[in-house]
Chain A
């Protein structure tokens, strides 16, 4: 049963805040819900589905947020697979709407990671009592360290260089310079990235995403209903999700979840790689982007370094990605999946002003990564279109 073009994103909103010391996560989320419903031309009474991770929330997670907004939805999803969660929620909401479980589902996220001084990525984690964590935590595995080990292996196998990874950060910063809401907007060079301190070798400070506050929301409904609403619908063509882990000690660590979720999304959407006009690729670290592009099949394993070099990822070039400036420069409140979907929708609606991709943008790919590539992670892929 294909979901292709049956469901649409009818409204999106990215909260403009990057630092909100006097707001709660729930206030940011509620403001985002209002923004996305305004964008769609709908009201809170239309909402009968709710999705958010519940990660970082107190005891009852999503129910607490339903309490705050006085929602009694017919469908709830608090899939919590890290930063990619909101990408997965979008697909789950689509399936739920298609199955008649709800009509209008809001996907929402908010966080005050920066103002509450959370050490996103460099905390050495006591881990949990769950068995997999027990064999990692005693050795000081950090999120950045787990990604760094992927970068190190990629460099060893394919000769990928730190300069090639730096090119990704440079392009993201260029895009951020065209996004008034982005946290860091001053252009940087490859030399700047190379000169920044090493956090976990071979990754430098500027290979790492920033830490900000922020939030956002999406309104998902049937394509039929979306066509009667305020904004041009953004149709879901296909979706996929996957996880990768230690595979009982037998994993090839350069094979990441994107290989599986991407293949599923392309198959289900019935489109080819050459049809993708722009992509939003989770950029927790520069290596995340390079590894994801290879695993999604945009280039062969080992060709990622050349693929991202020479400004090829710029908004006006061959393969535009992360036109908002990404997690590397615009915002990263801990989980950024929702911003990937928001920017892709805006690009497909042609609303991005100076950073609008130069080619006629008709099909976009979104890929979220949650967790850490070098230990355990999830991948969620969406393929979206404006027609």
Chain B
């Protein structure tokens, strides 16, 4: 495989659009937000243009602290898809943010055997392309 191909980012990338662009642009600035409905107060993750609980389009972007706990996790040893097969094993986890919302993400900077449910974690921003930054988590320092 030519060297240029090896350096290309091969994992799936999000599609930026009207309702999620503020969220992805904030990640690019290394800021994590969740959404709160201005009418019913319900919190939500992932970003949506309307509150799924009352359908209100009035949304407040709430800055998240970027801290949470591991709700559950798995270390994946088999995935043939491009980008992932080169990074086995990797850890996938649901993080329960201090704001009370669960996010699916990757745990980084730790070994599978060191991960425990309930373990405190903090956000780490991974700039994967010039346009896209992913929010991943690592053990809290």
Contact = CB atoms under 8 A, between A and B. Distances in A.
Interface string B72-110: 111111111101110100101110000011111110000
A253 B90 contact: no
A60 interface: no
Contacts of A131: 19-20, 46, 48
- Give the interface size class of chain B: 35 or more
Contact of A140 (B15, B72, B84): B84
Interface in A102-135: 119, 122-127, 129, 131-132, 134-135
Interface string B13-34: 1110001100000000000001
B117 interface: yes
Nearest to A135: B46
Interface of A: 119, 122-127, 129, 131-132, 134-142, 144-145, 148-150, 152-153, 156, 197-203, 246, 248-251, 253, 374-375
Given A122-B80, A200-B77, A149 B92 contact: yes
Contacts of A144: 76, 78
Contact of A199 (B77, B90, B105): B77
A124 B79 contact: yes
A140 B76 contact: yes
Contact of A249 (B75, B76, B101): B101
Interface of B: 11-15, 19-20, 34, 42-46, 48, 52-53, 71-81, 83-85, 87, 90, 92-94, 100-106, 112, 117-118, 128, 134, 136
A198 B79 CA distance: 12
Contact of A138 (B11, B43, B45, B77): B11
B12 A250 contact: no
B78 A125 contact: no
A123 to B, nearest CB: 6
A153 B69 CA distance: 13
A241 to B, nearest CB: 20
A249 B103 contact: yes
A132 B13 contact: no
B13 A138 contact: yes
Which of A136, A138, A145 has the largest count of B CB atoms less than 10 A from its CB?
A138
A248 B104 contact: no
Which of A125, A202, A250 has the largest count of B CB atoms less than 10 A from its CB?
A250
A277 to B, nearest CB: 35
A53 to B, nearest CB: 23
A149 B92 CA distance: 8
A198 B112 CA distance: 12
A149 B80 contact: no
A253 B71 contact: yes
Nearest to A151: B74
Contacts of B103: 135, 249
A156 B77 contact: no
Contacts of B72: 149-150, 152-153, 156, 253, 374
B78 A199 contact: yes
Given A124-B81, A203-B74, A251-B102, 15 more contacts: A123-B81, A124-B83, A125-B81, A131-B46, A135-B103, A137-B11, A139-B105, A139-B106, A139-B136, A144-B76, A199-B77, A246-B102, A248-B43, A249-B100, A375-B104
Nearest to A203: B74
A131 B102 CA distance: 16
A201 B75 CA distance: 5
